[in-house]
Amino acid sequence: MIPNQPDRDTMRRHWVWRIGITLGLGFGILAFAEPTNLVSNPHFLPNPGAPSLPLDFTMSGNVSYGELGDLTREYSGRGVRFDSSLQPPQPHLPRGRVSTRVTGVSALHHRWFRLRIRALAQPHFAVKQDELFLQVEFFGTSPANSLDQIKSRIFPQLRREREDLKDPSANQRLGQATWRTYEMAFRTPFPEVDSLILSAGFSLGIAQQPNAEFWINEFRLEPIPTPTHFRPRHHPVRSDDLSNLLHLGGRWYYHPSPEARVAPAQFDHTNAHRLLYLSDRLEAPFADNTSAWLRDGYYDARGALVKQARFLPENVVIQFTPRHMIVHSHNLPNHPTAFFPDLWRTLDGNPNRIQEILSTWHLPLDPTPSTLRVAMTPGNQNQALPGGPIGVAVNGVVFFNPYDLERNQDAIWRLDRCCGHPSPRSQYHYHKYPVCIKSPWSDDGNQHSPLIGFAFDGFPIYGPYESKGELAKNSTPNPLNEFNVHHDADRGWHYHVTPGAFPHIIGGYWGTADPNNHRTRRPRDRRGRTRR
């Protein structure tokens, strides 16, 4: 169901970029401006000569390749599956890996990289000794001998998330296992490292039940452009870290590029990695989060059924005014979704399609708590939160309160594997922690979670963790109130999502929702003009 175009286009961009690198080196003007994926086939396009195998990847062991999920029910794309089921005739426990090579690394004059995969663990995927891992092997100009290697086990993150993010009311057929990001940042150990072999793998599989696979549908390697991103996240930001940055308002800063010292008029896919948010760290929450696919089977902005998928680089565009951050969004999810309408009743038989909806959201830069604030009563009977959008995630998709049309019914069980679904207005939205938001980070629960979006009062919404191993919903030193809000010195007042616990995202507006977000809107284009 995922068409080939995304992959081809990604590859085309990759080659354009490669050529750019070559030219840049030729003229001695290479500057690392863009976080660009160095993996040649990030979405597992098939090998034209051997379509049962992915191009540019090698696979071994209990690993298979193809479309992931049930094509009538989900847009999951192609990828690889690790099968951890015990298979008695085999002499060893299940194991395997998928690998790809990246060359020309030394020409980048860059030492820091991040390997990132998007993956879904089925409910019974199981290994001993945490043997699910990401691995990087380093080679010089001779590809024969590895200079060094590093390996990072990602099973502890998976295990923790199964426990911390479990939601008994989630849909058992589709909604329970969710797509997640796993990542490893690393520095090449020697300047002469010229090529890398990147792998994801597992061993010591011990699953005894069906649904024991681990699916991977995206594989990325990115040079990390800003050294401030590499400071350990718990390291407090020093004032000299900010001296090179341009203040945009509120907690937002622009990290100037060598070419442009002045803040740009808008932030989009070309420069979102330079838009930094200050808490106890500097984050670039919109980086790599501003583009999406308008997939076949969706409606476009005019309500026409999309027959041929199109890439929308400018799904999200951000501007600043003295008082607001303005988010222009097409509201297209940039992650896997279920297929809607849900003809097969995989979820609740949702009859709506996902539509491209042009939206403009005003987020106050300096929010203050409101003295008139009211939290939701059960069922939102007091209508403390409106129906429809109440905030926006950093990928431009809106948040709703926990209830759908039938007020008393929690909408959580109706959601797809990325915790969203379309409304009767065809607006895709989240009712709970959207674990699939594609982001420059993966939240491994080892420190306070990163920012995932904003409520319409301008207060930030963070992921589920308060500190290492502690969920904000369980925090006793700094408990959340009924709004899902608490305060600390680094972040000020902020919301947390609360997986498996009402109100899931926010319990009411802690500040005053900006009135621009709730009046009838005419769609606007990215320059803020009203569209016809």
Nearer to Zn ion, 194 or 466 (CB): 466
Nearer to Zn ion, 264 or 388 (CB): 388
Half-sphere exposure for 283 (CA within 13 Å, toward CB) = 26
Nearer to Zn ion, 35 or 511 (CB): 511
Least CB distance to Zn ion at residue 442 (A) = 18
Least CB distance to Zn ion at residue 300 (A) = 21
Q: Give φ, ψ of 337 to 5 degrees.
A: -135, 165
Least CB distance to Zn ion at residue 350 (A) = 8
Nearer to Zn ion, 319 or 423 (CB): 423
- Share of the chain residues as helix, strand and coil, in percent rounded to the nearest 5: 10, 30, 55
Element (H, E) at 13: helix 5-27
Least CB distance to Zn ion at residue 161 (A) = 18
Residue appearing with tokens 């840049």: 24
Q: Is 87 exposed, middle or buried (CB count within 10 Å of its CB: 0-12, 13-18, 19+)? A: exposed
Q: Among residues 230, 312, 227, 224, which one has the least CA distance to residue 268? A: 312
Least CB distance to Zn ion at residue 400 (A) = 5
3 state DSSP class of 5: helix
Nearer to Zn ion, 34 or 466 (CB): 466
At 436, list the tokens. 């699939």
Nearer to Zn ion, 39 or 411 (CB): 411
Q: Among residues 85, 78, 36, 71, which one has the least CA distance to residue 57? A: 78
Nearer to Zn ion, 32 or 493 (CB): 493
Nearer to Zn ion, 74 or 404 (CB): 404
Least CB distance to Zn ion at residue 335 (A) = 17
Q: Among residues 57, 64, 292, 311, which one has the least CA distance to residue 198? A: 57
DSSP state string for 101-152: EE---GGGT--EEEEEEEEEE-TT--BSTT-EEEEEEEE-SSSSSEEEEEEE
Binding site for Zn ion (CB under 5 A): 404, 411, 466
Encoded amino acid at 109, one letter:
H
Residue appearing with tokens 């940039």: 334
Q: How far apart are CA 520 and CA 532, in angstroms?
A: 15
Least CB distance to Zn ion at residue 397 (A) = 12
Is residue 230 within 8 Å of 101, Cβ to Cβ? no
Least CB distance to Zn ion at residue 472 (A) = 5
3 state DSSP class of 449: coil
